[in-house]
Chains A and B, each alone.
Chain A
């Protein structure tokens, strides 16, 4: 039989259904890989005992004929999802040792479908970053390396541990969250598929909040079909999240299994031809357009005039919401407490010691833009720009069914590069942030390798709550590309 850790979620599901393998065997094989590649630092907390117990329960369910959609599938969970009885840190010192007494809705949905948790993955602190370098628990290493160059590369961020775990075959799938590109950019950097659903598709309840009007949980996997399988289980209305959409969950898996795109209008946004994008990425994009055309789709040039303003507007909206959300970390009810001579000093000491540099920076930006006298000039202005960005997309979708763009302006970079100037780091998300600002679903699909042998992704952006068309287009591109490269040594 094939090596269990090489199988996709769909293949593992078939092997489990036909009793070729037990959940216990599947989980043990993956736990072995996690141990083997521990040096990548993809996990903050490994949960092998819990995984074995869940696998045993899965085998028992299957024996009773009660197997769910993901029964026996090992998954890694971004350490931003609260997991009952298992430390949840958000990769921050301020939450180190925090043990939630409840389970996030998304993870609860996954366990209800039979999935098995193998551990909690590393991320940028409070999901703020594009490199995983801001984690209190140290950066994650990308399993990919440039050809003939042994330097460690970043896996992207913020969901870098989840992406690296899938790319190194420690797990067939994992969860992430995406606020400005935190699922799609690491998927591109690690050569896997990452899907950000429409805002409201997956419940945010029990997910540590960063920017509440943007945050959205979503899956990573090695195939489009596998991300659809995960999303199928993760999605759904949740009364505990008032922004969760009261809509039925469509058959995402059927959409991903139907790469028929004859006549589908693929929008190519003119404004995404941005100076500074690596020429190879521009070439890859053209190639992707040609492939879609060959598969029967119709490319349409569209305009999103406010694209260049999405990034600076995001860096008002996201820090403003972050500064409000992170006000709760005051050393009183959970997390770190650093004593002070009075209550105010205890707050200041706790927050000063508990938050890392990038988080402090964003709290300060957010506090400033929301402070008296500046609200209209910054926050209101950014929300107006946001309205224009959403309008751009709505107008573009009158002429096309889905958009195709690059995911990131570069391939993975080395740890330490781009660290001097925060704005240079922020530019990494220039292709992912506009869809976030408009709340649209988007997916990154591996589309080729650059001249150094590093993976590059292309992004599809869909209409609100039309993940199905996006999945169909992504499956068609995946089929045309036939991406089979894997990081050497993994």
Chain B
């Protein structure tokens, strides 16, 4: 399947990925090449085949719905790119917030 520039721009928007205008056409060409190569999968009749979502034969385990850790707000916020705001600066594990650009006027 051939992808056009507009389709690439649409999926880039869906992926929240800024792609410069001048890269859209070359990307459309590359992705079309990859999808043309992927088309060969249609040679295989898979009508009666159950899709395999996990190779692991293990049944996913259940665990008790219990709090097993906590009180580590300082660690959780240690890499916050916008800087963190702590509820109580003298006790950073008491809680805090990530910061983002203002979303409500």
Contact = CB atoms under 8 A, between A and B. Distances in A.
Interface of A: 98-99, 101-102, 199-200, 213, 239, 242-243, 245-246, 306, 308-309, 312-313, 315-316, 323, 327, 330-337, 339-344, 346-349, 351-353, 355, 360-361, 363-365, 367-368, 371, 378, 380-388, 390, 421-423, 437-439, 464
Contacts of A242: 60-61
A364 to B, nearest CB: 5
A437 B13 CA distance: 30
B25 interface: no
Contacts of A352: 17-20
A242 to B, nearest CB: 5
Contact of B17 (A313, A355, A371, A378): A355
Interface string B15-51: 1111110000001001101100110111110100111
Given A316-B38, A332-B81, A367 B15 contact: yes
B100 A422 contact: no
Contacts of B80: 333-334
Contacts of A344: 16
B56 interface: yes
A327 B15 CA distance: 8
Contacts of A312: 37-38, 40-41
Question: How big is chain B's contact interface, by range?
Answer: 35 or more
Contacts of A351: 15-18
Interface in B49-83: 49-58, 60-61, 63, 72, 75-76, 78-82
A101 B75 contact: yes
B58 A334 contact: no
A421 B75 CA distance: 43
Contacts of A330: 16
A306 B79 contact: no
A337 B82 contact: yes
Contacts of A334: 79-81
A331 B14 contact: no
Given A101-B78, A309-B44, A333-B79, A383 B53 contact: yes
Given A245-B56, A360-B19, 15 more contacts: A99-B78, A101-B76, A309-B41, A333-B81, A334-B79, A340-B101, A352-B17, A360-B17, A361-B30, A364-B15, A371-B11, A378-B38, A381-B41, A390-B52, A423-B33
B18 A388 contact: no
Nearest to A351: B17
A437 B54 CA distance: 10
Nearest to A370: B14
20 contacts: A101-B78, A102-B75, A242-B60, A243-B58, A309-B44, A330-B16, A331-B81, A334-B81, A344-B16, A348-B16, A355-B17, A360-B19, A364-B12, A364-B15, A364-B17, A364-B19, A368-B7, A371-B11, A390-B55, A464-B55
A200 B41 contact: no
Nearest to B103: A343
Nearest to A244: B58
Contact of A309 (B27, B40, B56, B78): B40
A339 B51 CA distance: 41
Contacts of B18: 348-349, 351-353
B100 A332 contact: yes
A339 B101 contact: yes
A200 B8 contact: no
Contacts of A99: 78-79
A256 to B, nearest CB: 24
Contact of B34 (A245, A365, A367, A439): A365
Contacts of B11: 364, 367-368, 371
A382 B41 contact: yes
Given A243-B56, A309-B40, A348 B17 contact: yes
- Most A-side CB within 10 Å, residue of B38, B79, B101: B38
Contact of A464 (B57, B78, B82): B57
A335 B20 CA distance: 22
A360 B8 CA distance: 11
